[in-house]
Structure 1
Amino acid sequence: MIDNLARIPLDAIRVFEATARLNSFTRAAEALGMTQAAVSWRIRDLEQRLGVALFVRETRRIALTLEGQRLASASSEALNLMRRAINDVMEQDQSVLGITTLQTLATQWLATRIGMFQLANPDLAVKIDVDNGLSDFSGHGTDIGLRFGSGQWPGLESRFLIPALFTPLCSPELQASLDIRTPADLKSAPLVGLPQEWAEWFARVGMADDSETPPPRVISENQAMEVATAMAGQGVALGNPVFYDREIRNGHLVRLFDANIALGGGYWLCYPKERRNLPKIARFRDWMLDMARSDASNIEACRLSGQTVGTIG
C-alpha cells in the first residue's frame, strides 16, 4: 500500500480534491490557477494510476463515481489536516524570534534594550541563546545571529552594528592605589585579557618594544568576565567603551586613557539572505539598527573607527 501511495503525486490529489469539491473542471482550474486542460490531464493521469474512474463525464457536467466519492472524502479530510498543521507551524514560527548572540553583547548591550522591542512588539516572543559559535541557521529555531567578525559569512546578509574598539578599564580604587596616569604606569599593573590584544594596544601607544611590560595575570577570551574582574578591583582589562558606557558614567569603571584601538572586525547582525523579508526578522533588524544609530556611545565609537551602522557586510 505504501508503494502504491508513493506512486501518486500529491499535486494530483490536490487537483482531484478541488475538482470534486467544486464539481467542475473549470472552477477547479480557476481556483488552482491552472488551465482546464491541465486539470483534466491531472485527473486522467490519477485515474490511470489508480486503475479506476473517479468521475462520470457527461455533457457540460461531471459526477463522482462511488470510488471517486470515497477518495474525495478522504482527500478533503487529509488536505484540511495538512492545511491546519501548516498554519499552526507558520503561526508558531512567526510568533517566536530566535536570536543567537555573544555573551558580552547579550549582557552589556542587548539585555538593557530588548525589553523595549518586546513592548513595541507584544505579539512576538524572543528566545535568546548565548553561544560564541556561529549558528548555521539550519533549524534549532534560530532566526538572527549577533556576531563578531568581518561580516562576511556565506549565505548570510550582515548589517554592521558596533565597532570593535577597546580601551583600558579598571575600578576607581585600583586606579587610585596604583596611581595610573599614563600608559607606562600599566607596567606595574595587574593586566587581564589576551596577551595579543594587550600587545597590540601597547604597540598603538608606542610601547611595542618595551620588554618590561608584564604578561596578563588573568587570561580569558570572554570580555564580560575580563571586565567583571577589573570592576572587582583585580586588574586592568581591555573593554569596549560602548558596552560599558553605563558603568563608566556611574563611576563603577574608570576609562584610563582616551587611547582606543580597533582590533579589526566588529559586531554584526546577520540572517539568511533568503529570509531577509520575513516580517519578524525585518522588524527586529530595523529596530536593532535604530538602537545602534541612536546610542550616543556607539555614535562616538563609529566616528573613531570610521564605520557606519547598517553597512551590509
Structure 2
Amino acid sequence: MVALRIGVDPLERQQRRLFWPFVGPALAFYVTLFLAPIAYAAYTSLYKWDGMGAMQWKGLGNYEILLNDPSFHTSVLNTLKIMVIGGVATFVISFALTMALREMRGRMFARSVMFFPNLVNALVFGIAAGFIFAPDGPVNQLLRLFGVDAAPKWLSVDNLPAMIIGTLVWTSTGYYTTIIMAAVDQIPRYLYEAAELEGANAWQRFRNVTLPLSWDVVTVCAVLWTVSSVKVFEIVMLFGGGSTVSNAPVQTWTTAMYVYLSAFSPSSVPKFGLAAAAAMVSLVMVGLLVVLLRRIMRRERVMM
C-alpha cells in the first residue's frame, strides 16, 4: 500500500484534485442551460398545454398528431432538402473557391471578404434576394435585355423552396470556405510539388492530397451544417410571409417554423405540447443524422 502511494506521480494527484473544481462549473452551466431544458421539453411533449392553464396528460398523442400531419411531413422534407442539397452545393462551391484562391497572393484579404457576410444578419440577404428576383428586379430586367419576355416568377410559391436553399448557400459559402481554406493552408507545399513531379493533374492532386489531409475539418463542417440546417427560420419567414410569420406557405416550412407556429400561432390556441414534441423529433433526427454522418465520414487519420 505504501509502495503504491509512493509510486503515484504528484502531478497526477494534483490533476485529479483539480479536475472537478475546473470541470464542475462548466458542467453545471451545461446541465442548467442545455440538458434541463431538453428534459423539460420532453416532459412537456407528453401533455396538452396552452401555456396558461393546467397541463393535460396526453401521452404519445402529440407524436401521433405529428405522424399524421402533412404539414409536419413537409417541414421535415424541406429541412432534409436544405441539409442535403444545400450542403452539397455549399461544400462544392467552398472547395472550388479554396482551390482557386490557394495560390492567389491576396488570399488572406479574400478570406476576410468572404467571411464578412457571415457577420451580417440573414434577413439582409433575404431582403436583397427578394429585391434582385422581384418581378421588376434586376434579374428579370437583364433577361428582358436578352429577349426573354416571359421572365420566370422567381418568388412564386413553387419556386420559394429553391430560392431559400439558394440564399442559404449564398450566405454560408464564405463561412465554410474560410474554415476549409485554413485547413488547406496547413498542408505542406512539398506534397503538391511531389504530386506534380509524379504527373498528377489538378483533380488528382485534389483527390489524393487536399481532400485526405483536410478531411477532419470537412467532417466538422459537415456536422456544423447539419445542425444549422435544423434551425433555419429567418429566411423562411422572410420569403414566405414577410413580417407576418403565419403567412408563410406550408410549402416553405421547416421544422423550426413548424415548432414556432405550433407554439405561437396567432390564429389558434397555442399548442406548447405539440411544439415540444416537434422539437424533440427534430432533436432526435439531427442527433441520428450527426452520428450517421460521423460514421460515414470516418477515415483513418493521414499524417503529414
The TM tier, using the shorter chain, reads: under 0.3
TM-score of the superposition, structure 2-length normalised?
Answer: 0.21
Structure scoring higher RCO (CA < 8 A, sep ≥ 6) equals 2
TM-score of the superposition, structure 1-length normalised?
Answer: 0.20
Structure having the higher strand fraction is 1
Structure 1 or 2, whichever has the larger Rg, is 1
Structure having the higher helix fraction is 2
